[in-house]
Amino acid sequence: MSPCPATDGRALADLKSVGKATLADFRLLGVSSVAALAARDPRELYERLCRLKGVSVDICQYDLFCCAAAQALDPYLPPEQCDWFWWSRRRKAAKPDKAED
């Protein structure tokens, strides 16, 4: 059985692909723990970040939020899914008619 994200002892900084800039974004968004991240929708986080910053943030930040949220939900996520660019490829494959860089 997988440990509960709220009790498995990981910090946001322990998640692969999460660096200083993303930690700052999480603070801005009010996400302070892995458990809090597990309860949030990556698309909502991305859209809120764009509103808060007043700019269209690079869409790859959405991929990173997907990556981090997936790790928050599943501490045993396959290693390749812990890389944000895996989520970029997935997003691009889902929308072959619309090329978002």
Helix (H), strand (E), coil (C) string for the chain: CCCCCCCCCCCHHHCCCCCHHHHHHHHHHCCCCHHHHHCCCHHHHHHHHHHHHCCCCCCHHHHHHHHHHHHHHCCCCCHHHHCHHHHHHHHHHHCCCCCCC
Q: For 36-69, what is each residue's pLDDT tens digit?
A: 999 999 999 999 999 999 999 999 999 999 999 9
Residue 16 has pLDDT above 80, yes or no: yes
pLDDT above 70 coverage of the chain, percent: 87
Model confidence, pTM: 0.86
- What is the pLDDT confidence band of residue 7, given thresholds at 50, 70 and 90? low
Phi, psi of 76 (to 5 degrees): -110, 25
